């Protein structure tokens, strides 16, 4: 057996040349899982049909009917995304047997593209936090610093990709939940524009800002995953002018130093960097009510009522709370969010729209195509929620697409991510910028 490929792109080439098989790729992933055991608490469940699916992919390839570059590629799913025949738990003990009626739309698309689903990954219970702690799986630990959080809420997906349990993964992002763990683990994470991909079959947190997207080892891999999910990225030249959101720098010298070096590389490539003026206080994402508090209970109760096979899931959040089979850390948040059920959201969403309008006007006035800033001002060093700042909320509240890529490493060897944000029409610019950083990161 040849050594495991470093990326989806490399694996696809090896598969096309007959240098490996889908079953071999799956076996390599499972060997890495067996080697690590449950050391990092990344996985919650395994697809009982993964071996069968890999062998079917190999038969199809031998018959000349490979579906495309994802054919035979092992992937993992965050365990708030439905895979038929496997419970969708959101990390909660009360949902340990919650059996979805069908796979999520994006999972059906990935499987139609030939992907092999290895299993489901641990996460922040209900996706509430930016660490990944659940009553079913415990804390997802950082492979480079096992005393620390891997980030969240899609932390298990990020660790699974980083450790080779799969070649790519799918997470969800409401306020940074793809991008933060991707950044902490030296990976690429992409949050599409809100509404760009269907959310059917995915547990809601705040439908007005929920998205689903890839966590991958390379920018090219993220593009392949997106295309298979139904969202191709337009090719774009490297932008000539981008805005730097300076007000989210300054809290962590190690992060700032790595990101400053990345900005230097952009400038050396001919990109003009323009400082973005500070946001008006009333639009600053660090202030004001959060849409999750207003939308979660209503959305999740509707999900419980419609998404699962009869009798396999609790009927409501009230039932979950009454049964006490959930993470005790979330008791106050659950009570507050249930109490806020069916509250009005218009004023919160109006501020989101105002932020998008302000950012759009600033980009037009400064003739810039994208914005850049550190994905997180934190480098995790314990199991608490990382104090990374509000930068990831810019994408969540504007609805714009955002991409994080590894900018380099701090002196202690921990990865640092840099994030690009742009209006949906300039989405391709994010990938052009990320490819440049990826090619020059040290």
* Token duo for residue 263: 């900005």
What are the angstrom distances between the C-alpha of 188 and each of 13, 262, 359? Answer: 20, 15, 24
What is the pairing mode between strands 138-139 and 241-244? unpaired
Kindly calculate the radius of gyration of the chain based on its CA atoms and give it in whole angstroms: 21
Please return the burial class of 167, using the count of CB atoms within 10 Å of its CB with bins 0-12, 13-18 and 19+.
buried
* Contact residues for 407 (Cβ-Cβ < 8 A; gap 6+): 258, 259, 261, 262, 416, 417, 418, 437, 441
Residues in the chain: 442
Nearest in space to 415 (alpha carbons), one of 186, 146, 260, 256: 186
Angle at 324 between CA 321 and CA 327, to 5 degrees: 95
Residue indicated by tokens 């001002």: 377
Which position among 177, 208, 376, 398 bears the catalytic label?
Answer: 177
SS3 content of the chain, % helix, strand, coil (to 5): 40, 15, 45
Distances (CA, A) of 297 to 79, 92, 289, 304, 347: 19, 15, 15, 10, 18
CB 173 within 8 A of CB 191: yes
Give which of 441, 442, 393 is closest to 421, Cα–Cα: 393
Angle at 59 between CA 57 and CA 64, to 5 degrees: 95
Q: Are 165 and 25 contacting, i.e. CB atoms less than 8 angstroms apart?
A: no
Name the catalytic one among 7, 127, 153, 208: 153
Q: How far apart are CA 247 and CA 244, in angstroms?
A: 9
Please tell me the distance from the alpha carbon of residue 440 to that of residue 442, in angstroms, as a whole number. 6
Known catalytic membership, residue 332: no
Q: Where are the alpha helices (DSSP H) in 367-426?
A: 393-398
**26 C-beta neighbours (distance < 10 Å), count:** 23
Any catalytic annotation for residue 177?
yes
Asked if 153 is an active-site residue, the reply is yes
Residues with active-site annotation = 78, 153, 177
């Amino acid at each position: 057996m040849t050594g495991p490929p470093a990326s989806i792109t490399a694996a696809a080439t090896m598969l096309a040349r007959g240098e490996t098989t889908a079953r071999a790729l799956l076996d390599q992933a499972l060997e890495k899982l067996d080697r690590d055991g449950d050391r990092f608490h990344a996985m919650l469940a395994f697809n009982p049909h993964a071996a069968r699916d890999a062998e079917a992919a190999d038969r199809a390839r031998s018959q000349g009917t490979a579906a495309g570059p994802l054919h035979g590629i092992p992937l993992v799913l965050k365990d708030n995304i439905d895979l038929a025949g496997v419970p969708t738990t959101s990390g909660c003990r009360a949902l340990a047997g919650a059996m979805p009626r069908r796979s999520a739309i994006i999972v059906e698309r990935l499987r139609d593209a030939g992907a092999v689903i290895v299993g489901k990954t641990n996460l922040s219970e209900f996706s509430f936090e930016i660490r990944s702690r659940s009553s079913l799986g415990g804390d997802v630990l950082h492979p480079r610093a096992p005393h620390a959080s891997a980030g969240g809420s899609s932390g298990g997906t990020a660790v699974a990709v980083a450790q080779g349990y799969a070649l790519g993964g799918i997470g969800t992002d409401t306020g940074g939940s793809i991008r933060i763990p991707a950044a902490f683990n030296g990976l690429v994470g992409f949050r599409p524009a809100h509404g760009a991909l269907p959310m059917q079959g995915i547990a809601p947190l705040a439908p007005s800002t929920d998205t689903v997207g890839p966590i991958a080892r390379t920018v090219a891999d993220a593009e392949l995953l997106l295309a298979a999910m139904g969202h191709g990225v337009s090719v774009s030249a490297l932008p000539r002018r981008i805005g730097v959101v300076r007000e989210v720098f300054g809290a962590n010298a190690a992060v700032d130093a790595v990101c400053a070096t990345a900005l230097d590389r952009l400038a050396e490539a001919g990109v003009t960097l323009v400082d973005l003026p500070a946001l008006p206080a009333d639009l600053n994402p660090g202030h004001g009510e959060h849409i999750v508090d207003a939308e979660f209970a209503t959305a999740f109760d509707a999900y419980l009522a419609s998404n699962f096979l009869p009798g396999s899931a609790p009927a409501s959040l009230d039932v979950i709370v009454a049964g006490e089979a959930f993470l005790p850390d979330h008791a106050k948040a659950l009570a507050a969010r249930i109490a806020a059920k069916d509250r009005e959201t218009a004023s919160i969403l109006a501020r989101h729209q105002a932020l998008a309008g302000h950012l759009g006007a600033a980009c037009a006035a400064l003739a810039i195509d994208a914005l850049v800033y550190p994905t997180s001002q934190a480098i995790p060093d314990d199991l608490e929620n990382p104090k990374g700042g509000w930068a990831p909320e810019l994408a969540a509240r504007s609805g714009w697409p955002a991409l994080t890529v590894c900018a380099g490493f701090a002196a202690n060897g921990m990865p640092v991510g840099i994030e690009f944000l742009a209006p949906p029409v300039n989405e391709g610019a994010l990938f052009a910028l990320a490819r440049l950083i990826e090619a020059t990161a040290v």
